[in-house]
Amino acid sequence: MPYLQSQHFRSVQQLNQWLSPKPMEGEGAAVDTLTGLPTLGEFYRAGPARVEDCLAKGIACAVAIIDIDHFRRLVETHGEEAADKIVQAIGARIGAAIEGTSHLLARLDEEEFGLLLMDIDTIAATEFCDNLRAEIGEEPILVGDCEISVTVSVGVAEVCGPETFDNYLNGAEQFLFMAKSYGRNQVLSDHTVALQAAK
């Protein structure tokens, strides 16, 4: 099922609003109000042109989806306000990790972030995301007086030919689903799957 039509999103009408070609300034269409990151719609507006440029120049790139593990449980245990703080903190940590690069980061859904990793192949993208996953898991998030340990699961898909941007996200989403199915707190990609198959 295409990423835009998957269970993460509420309605076709809302998606059409996100994907309108000329969002009004100040409407918040391009920026997520909680994290200050680009939205899903902005990811779809900016991403395809960057991918096309990479493909035209023979530059490697990859798409990753980062999902906060057990997010519903975090909300139920610590409350929505704490969950918002966790989302903000995770977004800030990912943003800090890509500072000074040409990578594109966006908040895709309530607990999901998307990364378009530029000038980086699937092996390096997997390593980058695994280092990021480890850093997030090792440093609890301070919410008020409470330290909350959080982990993330990541799916990484290599951009390896002229496909729709939706297909790249679909690939990353499938690897993310596998990562969560196999126990969470891990990164899965075509590279990791190939390594496992070779054992």
Q: What is the pLDDT along the chain (199 residues), one digit of tens a residue?
A: 455 444 444 333 343 443 333 333 334 469 999 999 999 999 999 999 999 999 999 999 999 999 999 999 999 999 999 999 999 999 999 999 999 999 999 999 999 999 999 999 999 999 999 999 999 999 999 998 999 999 999 999 999 877 889 999 999 999 999 999 999 999 999 888 888 787 7
**Structural domain 3-198, CATH architecture:** 2-Layer Sandwich (3.30)
For the beta sheet containing 104-107, the strands, ordered from the edge strand earlier in sequence to the opposite edge, are 104-107, 112-118, 61-68, 152-158, 187-189
Cα 145 to Cα 122: distance, rounded to the nearest angstrom? 39
Can you state the angle between helices 190-198 and 165-181, rounded to 10 degrees?
50
Residues 125, 114: contact at Cβ < 8 Å? no
Interatomic CA distance for residues 37 and 95, integer angstroms? 9
Which residue do the tokens 């070779």 mark? Answer: 198
3-state class (DSSP) for residue 147: strand
Q: How far apart are CA 149 and CA 86, in angstroms?
A: 10
